[in-house]
Amino acid sequence: MKLKTIAIDDEPLALKLVSDYIIKTPFLEMEGAFDNPLDAIDFLSDHVVDLIFVDIQMPDLTGIEFTRSLEDAPKIVFTTAYEKYALEGYKLNAIDYLLKPFSYEEFLKAAGKARKQVELEINSLPTVEANNQFLFLKSEYKIRRINFNDILYIEGLKDYIKVFTTTDDKPVMSLNSVKSLELKLPEDKFMRVHRSFIINLDKIDTIERSRIIFGKVYIPVSEQYKDKFQEYLDKNFL
């Protein structure tokens, strides 16, 4: 993964050095360089970054004050020519403290600490598993919850799909494809029987001449899917 990174320093040469180091480092992605922390604050209002290299001694707003102003601060590495500010920097949970002039090796070590910390945080996040009960579908500027058990069948119409359910008189229409929806549905409950149709196996009531009947609707089983559907029938035939 690459860490989105910005640099802040009011000294042009120092800012260029850190910027060059960021560009040079494979796991960092340069998002911006600022000679004024107020400009950086404005940038951060619309952009999310993972790591900031910020000088401490700046005229309008110090690096310490800048960091305190951030509500949800990313990883911070302070850069400064004054060693006395190190303790203050660590109080703000800074990843590291680089004393000017610093080498690329020192910079790389600090950046590596940031990457390790971000990776640890990502790995500790709880995972959200897909469920086999329902899905959310965008329809007519709304997001609809569709319970799998309520679905009768799905029909594909070029760029749209129509989901016919037992709970709605009208189908739920969505800008989507049959293929993309097929991948979201539980394989043990749903089967594609035609290029344009997916059926809920639990809702099958009558089959006639390679057609599945849902009320007044006749859904054909095409040659491409006939063997798979017949296999399902054979397993459940008395």
Q: Where are the domains of the chain?
A: 3-123, 134-235
Question: What pLDDT, on a 0 to 100 scale, did the predictor assign at position 125?
Answer: 66
Segments in the chain below pLDDT 70:
84-92, 125-130
Sorted by sequence, the CB contacts under 8 Å of residue 120 that are 6+ apart come out as none
Question: What pLDDT, on a 0 to 100 scale, did the predictor assign at position 46?
Answer: 87
Domain 134-235 CATH (choose: 3.10.400.10, 3.40.225.10, 2.40.50.1020, 1.20.1250.20): 2.40.50.1020
Question: What pLDDT, on a 0 to 100 scale, did the predictor assign at position 156?
Answer: 92
Question: What pLDDT, on a 0 to 100 scale, did the predictor assign at position 158?
Answer: 80
Question: What pLDDT, on a 0 to 100 scale, did the predictor assign at position 90?
Answer: 55
CB 171 within 8 A of CB 164: yes
Question: What pLDDT, on a 0 to 100 scale, did the predictor assign at position 85?
Answer: 60
Question: What pLDDT, on a 0 to 100 scale, did the predictor assign at position 180?
Answer: 87
- CB atoms under 10 Å from CB of 41, counted, come to 15
Q: How far apart are CA 107 and CA 25, in angstroms?
A: 10
For the entire predicted model, the pTM comes to 0.56
In the block, tokens 């469920």 appear at 131
Which CATH class for the 3-123 domain? alpha beta
Sorted by sequence, the CB contacts under 8 Å of residue 200 that are 6+ apart come out as 148, 151, 152, 153, 189, 190
